[in-house]
Amino acid sequence: MSIKTFREALNEAMAEEMARDNSVFLMGEEVAQYDGAYKVSKGLLAKFGAERVIDTPISEAGFAGLGVGAAMAGLRPIIEMMTWNFAIQAFDQIINHAAKMCYMSGGQFNIPLVFRGPNGAAHMLGAQHSQNLDPLLVNVPGLKIVSVSTPADGKGLLKSAIRDNNPVIFFESEMMYGMKGEVPDGEYLIPLGVADIKRPGTEVTLLTWGKITHLALRAANQLANDENIDVEVIDLRSLVPLDEALIYASVRKTHRVVIVEENWPYASVGSHLAERIQWHCFDDLDAPIAKISQRAVPIPYADNLEHAALPQVEQVIAAVKAVCYR
Amino acid sequence: MLRSLCATSSDKEFTIDLYQKMLRYRLFEERVNLAYTKQKFSGFCHLHIGQEAVCAGIGACLTKDDYVIASYRSHTQALNKGISPEQVFAELFGKASGCSAGKGGSMHMFSREHRFMGGHGIVGSQVPIATGIAFAIRYRQEKLVAICYLGDGAMNQGQIYEAFNMASLWKLPVIFVIENNQYGMGTDYHRVTSVSEFTSRAPGFNLPWRVIDGMNVLTVYQEFLPIITEVRAKMLPYLVEMKTYRYLGHSVSDPATYRSKEELSHYRQNDPLSQMADYLKGKGFAREDEFEQWDNDIRAEINAAEVRAEAAAAPDEASVDEHVFVD
Ligand SMILES: Cc1ncc(C[n+]2csc(CCOP(=O)(O)OP(=O)(O)O)c2C)c(N)n1
Ligand SMILES: [Mg+2]
């Protein structure tokens, strides 16, 4: 084990996979000479050269489509989106092409491609730079969706994503790039579709993923200290495929569920989780499922309004107490 | 050279006004920079220092009712269109009195009153919107113009070419103004652009075009005025490239290590403010001590605006749910 920042862990994942497989290349805005807008690709240009680490014009639709074509022709692109907000420019290529090519070609053209970059609100970036796009993309069959919360998970899952033969959407967060954590040394892969219990517990199952996992953990620790409620925090890590077995096992143990998401509430990932759980675990539930989402507003700029729009620890605590009827 | 620079004021008054506008933009942005480094606000903050001549010169060609739309780098364009320094500061500080009620921030200044149609955060996305504004002008047969600022980086976004085609096809009175400050973030546009003369793209859309020295405010004004006059009279679109330069990093957090000191100092030697100061002195329009006086006065005015903005109230928390829709 060694301590690494999130950006170092992601960087290592890319460097190792590029060293391992010549067909892997990295393309995006500022990824080469500037080392990445958030310095995630630091040093990769020097290591792998300008043929494999490529600065693009600000042409998201164009280079996303280029990635799809390169993947059809046998390469394994990593396409960095400076943030997912800008990837909206490329949704035609992601949704109409990357996601469907395999299916509509009768399995002839799979797309081994990773679209990766930061997702969700940071701090006071305003409505166009603070969006969490999980729900928009989980809705599309043909995309695998990963959302990570720790450096180790980042490394292990990004390596698997690069090796996966399908398009993988990989969500990071600019708020986490500097965060440090233990990362196993040597070859380290985490399979897609396996959730992780970030905090074992017995009384309430708290489902979460991505950056907000840390807020959920803070709430859980506070609940243990102040309210004596033992919360199990499950980091889904992969939204598609989804580790349903682990979720149901936890619910059958705790009988209570709180979902904490950075999504807008309407038809969110949490909505889907709630639907699955009530169907599979109806008789196990001792309380209705609670869901904490961000407010259904474009994320405002002003500090106090942004605070009001994003999920906060107190809301999670209140929701956990509510499902415990306390 | 036009015989008289401006139809409604003397050359002296007019050129002093242009100088003072640029000075106001420079001092404003410097103050914003300071406020950001003092952590009075957060988020992204893109400054216009070095590029003042473009919006001051174009601004002098506009009527109150003309429309302006811009990217996220638009504090000074917002000021130019009539939004007060206090309202821009208040927006930066996330106050209810900000020009976007504290909901927009540095990248999203708006004013319906002043027809400032927004700072927009997605590179290139304001270009089709500008085209739509021009569509409305033609639809109502008004004698107005839509000014659309975009960066050199935006010139490689696909959607702008859809807009260029429609603007030309339907003869819409919009002027696409490329503020070519040579960099999109850390990328020199030559590195990501197949043909670096942006205006070479104009003939493909039958767009009339022009390249203008954007470091000299008089040049900007004198070359832009006939263009806007033609656009207004004939209802047609135009592509104008302003050659300019940003002195600071892309945003306040960018140290701009990707360019040489020599390059920066070359542009500083052509500084829009010093060029205009030399002009005013050469013409005998202003004395040394007057420059100092203007500097002091404008500084005081900006500082006072900042103080008022800082003291203003934060938005009411209940307003978080307002404005998603109107009734
Ligand atoms: C669609 C999109 N992609 C990427 C970004 C991130 N980004 C913000 S500004 C910028 C550079 C734009 O450069 P340019 O158009 O030259 O304008 P300047 O900043 O120089 O005024 C980039 C890449 C964005 N905001 N929108
Ligand atoms: Mg630029």
3-state secondary structure string, A102-169? HHHCCCCCCCCCEEEEECCCCCCCCHHHCCCCHHHHHCCCCCEEEECCCHHHHHHHHHHHHHCCCCEE
Catalytic residue among A8, A16, A60, A306: A60
In a domain, B121, yes or no: yes
Residue numbers in B near A34 (CB within 8 A)? 185-187, 258
CA distance A177 to chain B (A): 16
Ligand 1 atom closest to residue A29's alpha carbon, by position in its atom list? 23
Assign B146 to helix, strand or coil: strand
From the CA of B183, how far away is ligand 1's center (Å)? 9
Q: What is the mean pLDDT of residues B183-198?
A: 97
In a domain, B240, yes or no: yes
- Chain A stretch 223-252, residues whose beta carbon is closer than 8 A to a beta carbon of chain B: none
Q: Are B94 and A124 in contact (CB under 8 A)?
A: yes
Statement: residue A243 has pLDDT above 80 = yes
Q: Phi first, then psi: what are they for A240, rounded to 5°?
A: -140, 115
CA distance B300 to chain A (A): 26
- Ligand 1 is surrounded, with C-beta below 6 A, by A 29, 58, 60, 82, 86, 89; B 46, 71, 73, 121-123, 151-154, 179, 181, 183-185, 250
Supply the pLDDT for residue B104. Answer: 98
A196-323, what's its fold? Rossmann fold (3.40.50)
> For chain A, where do the domains classified as CATH 3.40.50.970 start and end?
2-183
| A29 contact B CB<8A | yes
Distances (CA, A) of B5 to A183, B1, B140: 67, 8, 31
A2-183, what's its fold? Rossmann fold (3.40.50)
What is the pTM (predicted TM-score) of this model?
0.97
Count of the separate structural domains present in chain B: 1
In a domain, B181, yes or no: yes
Residue numbers in A near B121 (CB within 8 A)? 85, 126, 128-129
Statement: residue A303 has pLDDT above 50 = yes
Statement: residue B1 has pLDDT above 70 = no
Sort residue A262 into left (φ over 0), alpha (ψ -120 to 50) or beta. Answer: alpha
- Residue A317 pLDDT class (50, 70, 90 cuts): very high
Residue numbers in A near B324 (CB within 8 A)? 296-298
- Residue B8 pLDDT class (50, 70, 90 cuts): confident
- Residue B5 pLDDT class (50, 70, 90 cuts): confident
What mean pLDDT, rounded, does chain A reach? 98
Amino acid present at B295: D
Ligand 1 atom closest to residue A89's alpha carbon, by position in its atom list? 1
Statement: residue B7 has pLDDT above 90 = no
Residue numbers in A near B92 (CB within 8 A)? none
- Residue B3 pLDDT class (50, 70, 90 cuts): low
Statement: residue B302 has pLDDT above 90 = yes
Q: Ligand 1 pocket test: pick from A33, A85, A86, A133 the residue with the most ligand atoms within 8 Å of its Cβ.
A: A86
Of the candidates B102, B107, B184, the beta carbon closest to that of A305 is on B102
In a domain, B2, yes or no: no
| B289 contact A CB<8A | no
Q: Are B110 and B119 in contact (CB under 8 A)?
A: yes
Most B CBs within 10 Å, among A299, A301, A304, A310, to test the B interface: A301
Is A60 one of the catalytic residues? yes
Take residue B157 and report the two structure tokens written for it: 């976004």
Q: What would you measure as the largest C-alpha separation in chain A, in angstroms?
A: 60
What digits encode the pLDDT tens for the residues B248-273?
A: 999 998 999 999 999 999 999 999 99
Assign B149 to helix, strand or coil: strand
In a domain, B20, yes or no: yes
Statement: residue B14 has pLDDT above 80 = yes
What digits encode the pLDDT tens for the residues A84-136?
A: 999 999 999 999 999 999 999 999 999 999 999 999 999 999 999 999 999 99
Supply the pLDDT for residue B9. Answer: 87
> For chain A, where do the domains classified as CATH 3.40.50.920 start and end?
196-323
In a domain, B198, yes or no: yes
Statement: residue B288 has pLDDT above 70 = yes
Compute the distance between CA of residue B176 and CA of residue B154 in angstroms, rounded to an integer: 11
Residue B247 domain boundaries:
12-255+302-312
Residue B191: which CATH number?
Answer: 3.40.50.970
Q: Phi first, then psi: what are they for B71, rounded to 5°?
A: -85, -165
Residue keyed to tokens 């450096």: A151
Q: Look at residues B6, B3, B16, B28 and name the one whose alpha carbon lies nearest to residue B309.
A: B28
